[in-house]
Amino acid sequence: MSDLTDILAMTLDELKERLTELGEKPFRAAQIFEWLHKKRVGSFDEMTNISAALREKLKSEFSFEHIQPVRVLKSQKDGTEKILYALADGNHIETVLMSYEHGDSLCVSSQAGCRMGCRFCASTIAGFKRNLEPQEILGQLYETERVTGRKVSSIVLMGIGEPLDNFDNVVKFLKILSSPEGTNMSLRHVSLSTCGLVDRIYDLAELDLGLTLSISLHSPYNAKRSELMPINNRYKIEELMKACRDYFAKTGRRISFEYALIEGENDSPEDAKALVSILGGMPYHINIIPVNSIKERNYRSDRPAAQRFCALLTELGANATVRRTLGADINAACGQLRREYEGI
Ligand code: SAH
């Protein structure tokens, strides 16, 4: 990978500043930004209203690398498309495009691998390689729209990696994504899912970006949650819930809680009661997902079980739904395709 700053990772203000330092007029930055983020060109030479001399200067000042699609799988059941991308350094990540009534939603990765160690998750088993750069997160949107010809109307940061463990690059990505001179996506159409890095949840609340925060909870009990999710040894459920309440107080945004249902682990009526009790006092929504089996673990569930657990929660007055299962025929659960391809 190049040592130069990638031009796709620069906000418009940063680009203006750099071009001014290079002796160029600031309006050139706006033109270049538009080529990159609205017209989405693949090379400097396609920027036809920029002089050849300035294009050469840009080539020597910035890198402009692209992630490369290496496999595209399309579900025959529901149109879900899953794309395996190669990064410039040979790492791989996955991106999933899902179709909903309200439009197409893109699930992007934030890291190559993950170091959070959740027991049920395929992304973590092969370990952590590195953080993704802002242009590699943005590139998943640009390349996927190009490759599939579909238009993405919302983004979920729920692919490979822990987005709050790559805080600065994720925030930069969000700033560029929502820039009116670029893609101009409202951050109301973005969800960020975290296993619960409490300190970073406070940092995110400070920024008040308007996105939806999703917390991967998976158990209301510290002992069980620590067993399933090692991060719970660092931040206990009580601390996490306090951060969630503060997040709501600061941003006014209702939090979503993810609950991967696992037979015999977190699916009892007591679990349902305890879950409703710890979430009390703030508006929330619980998303129940029947756990996706991975070959290393004996975790199982199914849709009827998820529906039964959901009914228990609803009876207790909770706001809960079962997540639609998409792309079941193409291994759409995060991390599976990357592992198969890299043989890890
Ligand atoms: N690191 C972030 C985002 C990536 S995982 C997080 O932990 O939230 C996205 C979601 O998928 C999380 O809720 C995660 O717990 C869940 N998940 C991971 N593996 C799963 C599996 N095998 N079955 C069901 N959900 C899973």
By CB atoms closer than 10 A (0-12, 13-18, 19+), residue 57 is middle
The question of whether 334 is a catalytic residue gets the answer yes
Q: What is the pLDDT of residue 284?
A: 97
Q: Which of 63, 86, 111 is the last residue of a domain?
A: 63
Q: What is the pLDDT of residue 335?
A: 66
Assess whether 106 and 44 both reside in one domain: no
**Token pair 């682990």: residue:** 265
Assess whether 174 and 33 both reside in one domain: no
Assess whether 55 and 81 both reside in one domain: no
Assess whether 185 and 94 both reside in one domain: yes
Neighbours of 228 (CB within 10 A): 22
Q: What is the pLDDT of residue 53?
A: 96
Assess whether 103 and 124 both reside in one domain: yes
CATH number at residue 321: 3.20.20.70
The question of whether 94 is a catalytic residue gets the answer yes
The alpha-helical segments, DSSP class H, found in the chain are 12-21, 26-37, 52-61, 122-125, 134-148, 167-177, 198-207, 222-228, 231-234, 237-251, 269-279, 303-315, 336-342
Domain count, the chain: 2
Assess whether 161 and 115 both reside in one domain: yes
In angstroms, the CA 183 to CA 138 distance is 10
Q: What is the pLDDT of residue 153?
A: 97
Q: Whose CA is nearest to atom 1 of ligand 1?
A: 162
Q: Which of 16, 37, 63 is the last residue of a domain?
A: 63
Assess whether 57 and 161 both reside in one domain: no
Q: Which of 63, 92, 107 is the last residue of a domain?
A: 63
Assess whether 106 and 215 both reside in one domain: yes
pLDDT in tens, the chain (344 residues): 778 999 999 999 999 999 999 999 999 999 999 999 999 999 999 999 999 999 999 999 999 999 999 999 999 888 899 999 999 999 999 999 999 888 999 999 999 999 999 999 988 887 899 999 999 999 999 999 999 999 999 999 999 999 999 999 999 999 999 999 999 999 999 999 999 999 999 999 999 999 999 999 999 999 999 999 999 999 999 999 999 999 999 999 999 999 999 999 999 999 999 999 999 989 999 999 999 888 888 899 999 999 999 999 999 999 999 988 777 777 656 566 677 667 65
Rounded to 10 degrees, the C-alpha dihedral 11/13/15/17 comes to -150
Q: Whose CA is nearest to atom 13 of ligand 1?
A: 216
Pocket-forming residues, ligand 1, beta carbon under 6 Å = 116, 118, 120-121, 158, 162, 193-195, 216, 258, 260, 289, 291-292, 294, 333-334
Assess whether 121 and 253 both reside in one domain: yes
The residue segments making up the domain with residue 336 are 68-342
In angstroms, the CA 134 to CA 143 distance is 14
Q: What is the pLDDT of residue 135?
A: 98
